[in-house]
Amino acid sequence: MRKQTMNRDWIATARTLSEALPYLQRYSGAVVVVKFGGNAMGDDDAMAEFARDIVLMRQVGMNPVVVHGGGPMINEMLGKLGIESKFVRGKRVTDKATVEVVEMILSGLVNKRIVQAINDQGGRAVGISGKDDDLMVCEADDPELGFVGRPVEMNVQVIRDLYSAGIIPVIAPVATGMADNETFNVNGDTAAGAIAGALQADRLLLLTDVAGVKNAQGEVITEMTPEDIEALIADGTIAGGMIPKTETALKALSEGVRAVVIVDGRVQNACLLELFTEHGAGSLIRSTTPRVTPRRR
């Protein structure tokens, strides 16, 4: 019985690999920006699984670029320091004291933990921030938000140099200001979208702790257009932290990203399911709906 079960498992594995072939061919050489965040960042097993997926993407010929957040870790440290966290329209209000903590956590603790996880899985990763080589230069997004930046100038050659050398870039979303070299906190989704747009990425995957964009009935919408998103924001169906994600998707599409997917990062091997299966793992957003199937091509 045990041997029969093992044989069935092997056959299923072989079939899965065979069915993935068209997608492996489709994404060979493609640039895929992955925004990693949420509670999975604090779980060692989830981190290792994510790192394995990223290494596999690189191994089959893709060029993954990881942009990460770190909200839970920032909240924890701010709490220890007695600094209150405030949010406006899903973005963190960031004063001078807060931005110093944000940079310490994102560029230090979180970035290096992800780099180490990828290296532990046999990949080659290098951690940088938006300040390195003036990768991301910002202006203040909104006076109400303080030191929260809006990218206005992108210099992504350092990213191209890294992935051209077989190295996986891991990017912390802190950036240099246009004036006086201030440090700005950049929303992780916003940073990922700006980087994806500047790279003309094939895919932008925004990993999150929800199943995807939901309609008024609470059902996940598997495919959307920019017009769909604008209507759902206008009627209040898309709200809170989902607003910056969907706004990031719209801007990335306008800058040449082929498609954006808001992915349920809690699902095991979510990135692989999205890229290498017909079913996908979240809400796919693109400007037009192709006439051919499967939908993920």
pLDDT in tens, 71-80: 888 888 988 9
pLDDT in tens, 238-264: 987 788 889 999 999 999 999 999 998
| 293, part of any domain | no
Q: What is the pLDDT of residue 296?
A: 46
How many independent structural domains does the chain possess? 1
Cβ–Cβ < 8 Å for 54, 64:
yes
Residue 7 domain flag: no
Residues in the chain: 297
For residues 191 and 172, what is the distance between their CA atoms, to the nearest angstrom? 9
In CATH, what number is assigned to the domain containing residue 171?
A: 3.40.1160.10
Q: With bands split at pLDDT 50, 70 and 90, how would you rate the model's confidence at 294?
A: very low
125 backbone dihedrals φ, ψ, rounded to 5° = -125, 145
Lowest mean pLDDT segment, chosen from 15-19, 48-52, 218-222: 15-19
Is 116 in contact with 54 (CB distance < 8 Å)? Answer: no
Confidence of residue 13 (pLDDT cuts 50, 70, 90): low
At 280 the pLDDT is: 74
Per-chain mean pLDDT for the chain: 87
Coil, strand, or helix at residue 160? Answer: helix
Q: Using 50, 70 and 90 to split pLDDT, how confident is the model at 123?
A: very high
13 in any annotated domain: no
Please indicate, yes or no, if residue 47 is contained in any of the structural domains: yes
Query: Is the predicted pLDDT of residue 11 greater than 90, yes or no?
Result: no
Predicted confidence band of residue 5 (pLDDT cuts 50, 70, 90): low
Of 33, 32, 38, the C-alpha closest to 208 is 38
Beta strands in the chain (DSSP E): 31-36, 63-68, 87-88, 91-92, 125-129, 136-140, 149-154, 168-172, 174-177, 183-185, 203-208, 223-224, 259-264, 282-285
Q: Is residue 6 part of a domain?
A: no
Is residue 274 one of the residues assigned to a domain? yes
Among residues 143, 159, 166, which one has the least CA distance to residue 93? 143
pLDDT at 295 over 60: no
pLDDT tens sequence across 99-121: 999 999 999 999 999 999 999 99
Q: Does a structural domain hold residue 18?
A: no
What's the predicted TM-score (pTM) here? 0.88
HSE on the CB side for 224, CA within 13 Å? 28
Domain-embedded: residue 211: yes
